[in-house]
Amino acid sequence: MKPFSVFLFISVFVLLINAQELIPAWFEELPEAPAGFHFAVGYSGKYFDQSLAREAAISLAVSNLAKQLEARLIFELEEYTDGRLRLLNPSFELSYDEYHVLEINKNFSAVDSSITRDGYFILITYPGGSRRHRNSSIVKKWGSRPEWTIQLPRSEKFNYGIGMVSNYSSWVRAWKDADEYARFDLGKNLKITAQSVHAAQQDNHFVIESKILRQSYNEIIHDSKIIARWYDRENDIYYSLCRQPR
Amino acid sequence: MKKLIVIALLIPMAFMLLDCGGKKPKAKMNDIPEWYLNPPMAEDAIYEAGDAAKQSMALAKEAADARARDAISRTIEVKVSNMLKNFMQESGLGNDAEALEFTSSVSKQVSNNVLNGARIVKREMKTEGSMYHAYSLAEYNLNSLIQETINEAKKQKALYNEAKANLSFDELEKEIQKLEAVGD
């Protein structure tokens, strides 16, 4: 095989891994669950064994649901600037109760699942037994850019947060991170401690500006769910929208 | 013919070499969001903008958000301290005299606030070469600030009541001790 053919083959393979063209409708927009029920989405990449793909997707859906019910978020960001060097150090720590995972595992049921060229998708409900959603099994292409990717929705009833990531080789990791960042963004919108010291030193010739900035929060967030996702194919950006009732 | 092909290949390579390792590409003026240059103004809210250019999009977003929120925090309350040093000297005689003047000033701004409901309401992400340039607009509803002040006042009142209660218990203990002393 000629080197050019090998290069072409690898390029096409990489593109196929990264691309995410078709998705179930409920992956783009989470349907409203009936009163007393919770919906959550799980997903996994390509597996040779479909049962393993399903297992991975269910495991992610269950952990997503546990985080949805209750999650402790610890966020800290520090930025140092001394006029020449900049150092930015954000840290994100999320933990959720193992008890919720065990409870969900005991009593959940699959509402719908889809296999696309990219992987396996599953929508679960907790407690189990909710009726099948009407729009189930509709596999579609990404819609046009939603308004929430530009401007945070305004609502008296809900708080929102947006997660954005780019340049990921795996779409599964990209969505996992976008979902987490959206949850952390919601937390920051609720309450954050902001501390900073700005200093400017000026003499006859130079002005040296230095800055130390620290922002942090440590909160337990209840009932926060990822209600919408959107993939910007043109710029390879993954967006997630997280919502929590006020 | 071969020479022509080699030259044709070398020219773009030379341009590429000249271009790399240079300055960071600057944002075009028409790429900068209008709300970044002129943040909205409202009677019941404070708006501040922040931006950051980074190799990673997630980092650019975090930094821009943090800077916008920091600007809000400094708008609410900031402690400023300034120091000015002036040094003047003249040496030599008559026309040969040399004057030296040196001025140094240091300004420090410190802020420390808890922001309840400081939301990033608008974001834009631009690409500049290999960098991501994030622009964020933070909104702080003044009702949140009023609520925060009320909560703080309530907390202070609770602390005062607690201190007052402790004080009366202290007094009670003192009275008991006095009684015990009389009993002895």
In chain B, residues 41-60 whose CB comes closer than 8 Å to chain A? 54, 56-59
Rounded Cα distance, B142 and B117, in Å: 10
User: Which residue among B62, B105, B110 places its CB closest to the CB of A77?
Assistant: B62
Least reliable range by pLDDT among A65-69, A140-144, A227-231: A140-144
Return the pLDDT at A14.
47
Average pLDDT score over residue span B6-10: 66
Return the pLDDT at A202.
79
**Highest mean pLDDT pick, A12-21, A41-50, B32-41, B140-149:** B32-41
Hey, is the C-beta of B69 within 8 angstroms of any chain A C-beta? yes
Q: Is B120 exposed, middle or buried (0-12, 13-18, 19+ CB in 10 A)?
A: buried
Which of the 8 DSSP states describes residue B79? E
Q: Which residues contact B103 (CB under 8 A, 6 or more apart)?
A: A203, A204, B84, B85, B86, B87
Average pLDDT score over residue span B120-147: 87
Q: What is the mean pLDDT of chain B?
A: 78
B71 by DSSP, 3-state: which? helix
Rounded Cα distance, B54 and B57, in Å: 7
Report CA A65 to chain centroid distance, whole Å.
13
- Judge whether residue B143 has pLDDT over 70: yes
Percent of chain A at pLDDT above 70? Answer: 88
Average pLDDT score over residue span A206-234: 90
- With CB atoms and an 8 Å threshold, state whether A194 touches B59: no
A167 pLDDT band, cuts 50/70/90, is: confident
Least reliable range by pLDDT among A54-58, A105-109, A139-143: A139-143
Hey, is the C-beta of B120 within 8 angstroms of any chain A C-beta? yes
pLDDT tens, position by position, A26-36: 888 888 888 88
Average pLDDT score over residue span A188-195: 92
A51 pLDDT band, cuts 50/70/90, is: confident
Torsion of CA A31, A32, A36, A40, to 10 degrees: 30
Rounded Cα distance, A93 and A74, in Å: 5
Q: Where are the domains of chain B?
A: 26-183
Rounded Cα distance, A82 and A213, in Å: 12
Contact call for residues B130 and B55 (beta carbons, < 8 A):
yes
Rounded Cα distance, A182 and B61, in Å: 12
Average pLDDT score over residue span B149-154: 73
Contact call for residues A23 and A233 (beta carbons, < 8 A):
no
More confident residue, B13 or A211: A211
**Shortest CA gap B128–chain A (Å):** 13
Return the pLDDT at A72.
94
- With CB atoms and an 8 Å threshold, state whether A199 touches B59: no
Average pLDDT score over residue span A222-234: 92
Return the pLDDT at A16.
46
Return the pLDDT at A238.
93
At position A59, the amino acid (one-letter code) is S
At position A109, the amino acid (one-letter code) is S
Average pLDDT score over residue span A4-21: 54
pLDDT tens, position by position, B76-104: 887 777 777 676 666 677 777 776 777 77
Return the pLDDT at A115.
86
Return the pLDDT at A169.
86
**Shortest CA gap A110–chain B (Å):** 33
Report CA B181 to chain centroid distance, whole Å.
61
**CA A172 to each of CA A11, B60, B150, B152: distance values in angstroms, whole numbers, following the listed order:** 19, 22, 45, 44
* Residues composing chain A: 246
Hey, is the C-beta of B116 within 8 angstroms of any chain A C-beta? yes
**∠ CA A204-A207-A212, rounded to 5°:** 150
Return the pLDDT at B78.
78
Hey, is the C-beta of A52 within 8 angstroms of any chain B C-beta? no
Average pLDDT score over residue span B37-60: 90
Average pLDDT score over residue span B13-41: 68
